Amino acid sequence: NAGVTQTPKFQVLKTGQSMTLQCAQDMNHEYMSWYRQDPGMGLRLIHYSVGAGITDQGEVPNGYNVSRSTTEDFPLRLLSAAPSQTSVYFCASSPGTGNYGYTFGSGTRLTVV
């Protein structure tokens, strides 16, 4: 059982480049989320989805797009990378209402130069 799989694990981008961080889960979870972790700030919610075809913004959505065409996949797109987006990104999923324990992926460390 793979759980939540994130790719790539590491990425270096130049300012202005775009890229997609991949997230896939094999637990048939309805809810998926993207967080970023920065020193001293905990994890901040970027975007989330309560099911296929439904997405919504979290606390820090600017500069990021998401889509949820299938239950399994929830990619995060950086439209035009900026140094402020240097961070560790975590994807998470949960079964839904009544069960709040997220399963997190192992993270993607992104550096924008």
Partner 1 sequence: DQQVKQNSPSLSVQEGRISILNCDYTNSMFDYFLWYKKYPAEGPTFLISISSIKDKNEDGRFTVFLNKSAKHLSLHIVPSQPGDSAVYFCAATEDNYGQNFVFGPGTRLSVLP
Contact call for residue 7 and partner 1 (CB under 8 A): no
Q: Between the CA of residue 27 and those of 19, 30, 42, 70, what are the distances in Å?
A: 26, 9, 26, 13
Nearest CB to partner 1, comparing residues 31 and 81: 31
**Shortest distance in whole angstroms from residue 21 CB to partner 1:** 13
Strands 10-13 and 108-112: parallel
| Binding to partner 1, residues 29-88 (CB under 8 A) | 31, 33, 35, 40-45, 48, 50, 58-59
> What are 12's strand-pairing partners?
111
What are the residues binding partner 1 (CB under 8 A)?
Answer: 4, 31, 33, 35, 40-45, 48, 50, 58-59, 90, 92, 94, 96-97, 99-107
